[in-house]
Amino acid sequence: MSARPAHGPVVRFWPHMPAAEVASTRIRCLQVIAALRAQGADAALFDARQPPPAVLVLGKRSDAASIAQARALQAAHGVRLVLDLCDNHFWAAQPTERLRDRAALLRAAVLAVDCVVCASPRLAEIVRAECPGVRHIEVVDDSLDPLALQSAAGWRGLQLEAWRLVHRATPGRRLVWFGQATSEFGEAGIADIGRIAPVLAAAHRQNPLTLTVISNRRDIWRRHAPGWGFPSLYLPWKATTFGGLLRRHDIALIPVTLNPFTECKTSNRALTAFAAGLAVASDAMPAYARLSQAIVVDDWASGLPRLMDDAVERARRIEAAAAVIQARHEPAAIARQWQALLAGLVTGATPAVPA
């Protein structure tokens, strides 16, 4: 039987780091390629040795050498260029010369491509303000992170003694925080847990709870955890174990210090937790508006304790999130967004950026 012919333009993705361990590569590149191919598109990673594609998507790749190579393909073969962004790298709390240079390169890259794809509406606003000459901007949601659905391969290598501590807490009070331990773009990461630590400590005195931190810097956790006033344990983030670890908890905590960097973040962490069967409590973020019926937002003192104690409420909120995930963040839904964007690029139907 002959292979089904691909439909739509040939598209190649060129992420700034090709490793699946990199969240942006995994969610906004590899997962998108798989979803597009499932819908019959000719999508793959970029290989300069292969014939040039109709569309080249540069995933967070804004360095001068990459842009020059992409522009050469554009000039020689008419390749349409897309820059996919998921972070506000125009801003930093303490801008160094390196960060200022990176922001300048990013502005140049935005102005060099045919279309900029942003992971959140707020990031699109920032790009428009920072780069008035940008040709076109689209917002394409994050795909659901596949790691949330993976099994716990490699589980035997974890510290099982530490897990006895977790399971002393009653169902509903096994909490988890996961993410990058710190950021060069402002106060963020494990330090954010300190803002809600008094609430968690008070809840722990009423009925014991535990917090697992899944991250990339044990030393940062050790610096902050002793002052929290409740039991916590640290486990390293690993692609082979993350999904299984997450499923052994009840509620994911997402405290966020808002600044021009964090307010552009997507709803990915909340979606990942919901997909793994957890409820979510979070600070308010622009990207979480669509999940307002699912997340306990800005209500740490009363909303989180109620969520811990009410299994029915946790299940209701997880179900509400599932409807949003299916409509907006399942791989097939993301692929449809990309298909529409790609078709508009090659036919010239993509409109100019609104004023």
48 assigned to some structural domain:
yes
Which value, to the nearest 10 degrees, does the dihedral of the CA atoms of residues 269, 28, 17, 38 take? 130
72-85 average pLDDT score: 97
Is the pLDDT at 154 greater than 50? The verdict is: no
Over pLDDT 90: what percentage of the chain?
76
Same domain, 94 and 108: yes
352 assigned to some structural domain:
no
How far is 126 from 313, CA to CA, in rounded Å? Answer: 36
Domain that includes residue 321, residue range: 153-328
* Residue 186 CB coordination number (10 Å): 16
Same domain, 189 and 46: no
Q: What pLDDT shows up at residue 1?
A: 38
How far is CA 61 from each of CA 69, 213, 229, rounded to the nearest angstrom?
11, 30, 42
Same domain, 171 and 199: yes
Name, in order, each residue with C-beta under 8 angstroms of 303's C-beta and a sequence gap of 6 or more.
Answer: 281, 296, 297
How far is 21 from 147, CA to CA, in rounded Å? Answer: 10
Lowest-pLDDT choice from 51-55, 155-159, 252-256: 155-159
For residues 220 and 181, the answer to whether their CB atoms sit within 8 Å is: yes
188 assigned to some structural domain:
yes
Same domain, 336 and 242: no
Same domain, 250 and 341: no
What's the pLDDT tens digit per position in 202-231?
999 999 999 999 999 999 999 999 999 999
Check residues 214 and 244 and name the one with the higher pLDDT.
214
Is the pLDDT at 241 greater than 60? The verdict is: yes
Check residues 186 and 127 and name the one with the higher pLDDT.
127
136-162 average pLDDT score: 68
Q: Which two tokens stand for residue 164?
A: 């006895």
Is the pLDDT at 313 greater than 90? The verdict is: yes
Range 203-207, long-range pairs (CB < 8 A, 24+ positions): 203/173, 203/230, 203/304, 203/305, 203/308, 204/229, 204/230, 204/231, 206/305, 207/170, 207/173, 207/308, 207/309
Q: What is the CATH number of the domain that holds 108?
A: 3.40.50.2000
Q: What average pLDDT does the chain have?
A: 89
How far is 244 from 194, CA to CA, in rounded Å? Answer: 26
Q: Provide the number of structural domains found in the chain.
A: 2
Backbone φ and ψ for 235, nearest 5 degrees, come out as -135, 135
Same domain, 172 and 307: yes
3 assigned to some structural domain:
no
Same domain, 116 and 195: no
6 assigned to some structural domain:
no
4 assigned to some structural domain:
no
Q: What pLDDT shows up at residue 5?
A: 46
Same domain, 217 and 317: yes
262-274 average pLDDT score: 94
Same domain, 122 and 162: no
For residues 280 and 299, the answer to whether their CB atoms sit within 8 Å is: no
How far is 247 from 317, CA to CA, in rounded Å? Answer: 16
**Helical H runs in the chain?**
23-25, 31-38, 64-77, 97-112, 121-130, 160-166, 193-206, 218-224, 242-247, 268-275, 303-309, 311-324, 331-347
How far is 9 from 355, CA to CA, in rounded Å? Answer: 29
Q: What pLDDT shows up at residue 48?
A: 95
Is the pLDDT at 169 greater than 90? The verdict is: no
Is the pLDDT at 50 greater than 50? The verdict is: yes
pTM of the model: 0.88
Same domain, 339 and 324: no
Same domain, 68 and 214: no
